[in-house]
Structure 1
């Protein structure tokens, strides 16, 4: 059985609410009548309507303000809103559009026009719901595939390690080392995808503890110095003394460091230098705050794209435009840093390159 579309009618005049309900009779809708904008906002989650018909002139909160509040809420902003008004001015129409209204009806309301507008808005809402369901199913499938990739990657890494212990030929060892590093990088990518999925579903919990940040960076340097050497790139560190210790999720922050270094190495040309600097500062709360910078001499990122490279849904479009130094690894970094209450951004490294900055 197909569920009936739910319509919320909000108007401070009882006669108007009943008139609109009567006009929609025999249309197989589930209709709820509410007499104020304040009450509508309070009961929105309980009603979960597919469409809101909203009076503009009301004593407590007018239709503009109710519309603005609904559209600011990510849980409800997709619900179509039809504003009903006696006002005829272009100014009211402009205000309604700015508030986020999807359609308008002029009082006195025509029955045929009301039914047509309602059908149109419900059709749009249905298409939106179907698209969201498809995207959710695709995302679930992607997460399943990524999860299933973990086992074969771990197997490659394990067997590569076992072979390294038995092979003595220098050339073979070098090739095997490249295989292991490639598998290790793929494993990092898969882990990032899984963590992103958990973050988006709010199932990832931070496990903070006092961590030696200097040591996390030194551990990462041991791994990435091999890759840097093979590409003819110099990797230099600048760390504070004494070592900086602060409360972070060590696993997440280790991945942030690894992703930013891998990103810099991937796009840096030979005979250049990548610098990782860490500094500590004490704020008014007497707690240590860190500032980490990864400085490269790669192609750099144009200014107009710098605010977009950390967003998941921008990656495909930016790759199509040929913008370097982007990928889901940066999206993971932003989500991990945000989870710690910090911020991450990129700025230019003059005369060439990028500076990725993490502040927590």
Structure 2
């Protein structure tokens, strides 16, 4: 990714651009030049500037009109514009601000002042970009949550309507009842994850850690996921230590971590394949692994998938809100542990949890 900031200089005098280029030589900016306001406006999408240095006194379109036209476009309203002017009267400077300028600098341009004002505008632009990213993320998150809640809710409504039909066979009745139960569990899991993530992020959740048998904990998690695995014709395999070994965890939170990892493994594994839960004791703690035979996680996404609402491989037929792994990471780190992901050869993914000693 290119982190170099782009500066667009709009000035009818090429010599003035040379002066700016010299004054900013040490800043590693990507500089662009436009000799007229019209040319600059026409090429904004090509330049994609982070800041504009705009001369006021230009033929044809003067700087104030250029500023007004740029700021009238919603795409560029947040783009900082620094007016470069020989005007000194307060009324003229007020007109620059009224035209939409964010700052101004007087000619002859001083290098220290120029660099300071550009730094200030870049800082404001970065803050705006971060806020815009958060707003877009929030919108995407709301859409994903609505989508992921709508699917199980639709299943509940349809199954409930079918149960009203007279003469429904016992087998069909049981099938629809099971679908309602599963859909309700999916909705509850999503809501619980949202609430717990919010508490973990705000540091308002105190873990209630107790010593528990690791083997028993894993067997319980596998038993709860078995029915879903059978529906997809997946073979659940356990490679667990002998009972009696203890780990210190918040049981409901840690169980949800295991549930999320196992559910993900089932989602992304093809039918008639295998999902494995491994656990072992180390001298420094305990290690757990969930191994699947799915499409895997690309190398460049192995950190970002643990961020909220980030998705590794989009699969249209699979519900993916991008929250489960973020929850897992926060929950494991709250236990002072780590969670990582790596390839499972020849195909699939291995998620590894390390918990330090009790």
**Is the 8 Å Cα contact of residues 274 and 296 (structure 1) preserved in structure 2?**
yes
The 2-side partners of 1:129 and 1:297 are apart by 37
The answer to whether 1:356 aligns with 2:357 is no
The answer to whether 1:314 aligns with 2:310 is yes
How far 1:109 sits from its partner (Å)? 4.6
The answer to whether 1:255 aligns with 2:256 is yes
The 1-side partners of 2:130 and 2:295 are apart by 41
Matched with 2:324 is 329
Q: How many residues are matched?
A: 244
Matched with 1:20 is none
The 2-side partners of 1:248 and 1:169 are apart by 42
What is the SS of the residue equivalent to 1:174? helix
Q: Gapped runs of 5+ residues in structure 1?
A: 1-86, 96-101, 284-288
Q: Taking structure 1 as the reference length, what is the TM-score of the superposition?
A: 0.55
Cα pair distance change 1:172/1:348, threshold 3 Å: same
Structure 1 stretch displaced more, 242-251 or 125-134: 125-134
The 2-side partners of 1:299 and 1:126 are apart by 37
In the TM superposition, what are the counterparts of 1:1-360 in structure 2 within 5 Å?
93=27, 109=110, 113=114, 117=118, 120=121, 124=125, 127=128, 131=132, 169-283=170-284, 289-312=285-308, 314-315=310-311, 319=314, 327-360=322-355
Cα pair distance change 1:176/1:252, threshold 3 Å: same
What is the SS of the residue equivalent to 1:223? helix
**Is the 8 Å Cα contact of residues 240 and 279 (structure 1) preserved in structure 2?**
yes
The 2-side partners of 1:111 and 1:350 are apart by 57
1:188-228: CA deviation from partner (whole Å, max 9, x where unpaired): 11111111111222212222111222222222222211111
**Is the 8 Å Cα contact of residues 341 and 349 (structure 2) preserved in structure 1?**
yes
**Is the 8 Å Cα contact of residues 309 and 326 (structure 1) preserved in structure 2?**
no
Matched with 1:11 is none
How far 1:355 sits from its partner (Å)? 1.1
Matched with 1:30 is none
**Is the 8 Å Cα contact of residues 215 and 244 (structure 2) preserved in structure 1?**
yes
**Is the 8 Å Cα contact of residues 207 and 249 (structure 1) preserved in structure 2?**
yes
**Is the 8 Å Cα contact of residues 214 and 247 (structure 2) preserved in structure 1?**
yes
The 1-side partners of 2:306 and 2:112 are apart by 48
How far 1:178 sits from its partner (Å)? 2.2
Cα pair distance change 1:233/1:114, threshold 3 Å: closer
How far 1:304 sits from its partner (Å)? 2.6
What is the SS of the residue equivalent to 1:309? helix
How far 1:333 sits from its partner (Å)? 0.6
**Is the 8 Å Cα contact of residues 289 and 351 (structure 2) preserved in structure 1?**
yes
How far 1:322 sits from its partner (Å)? 11
Larger radius of gyration: 2
How far 1:125 sits from its partner (Å)? 7.1
What is the SS of the residue equivalent to 1:314? coil
How far 1:303 sits from its partner (Å)? 2.4
Q: Taking structure 2 as the reference length, what is the TM-score of the superposition?
A: 0.56
The 1-side partners of 2:208 and 2:280 are apart by 23
The 1-side partners of 2:137 and 2:343 are apart by 37
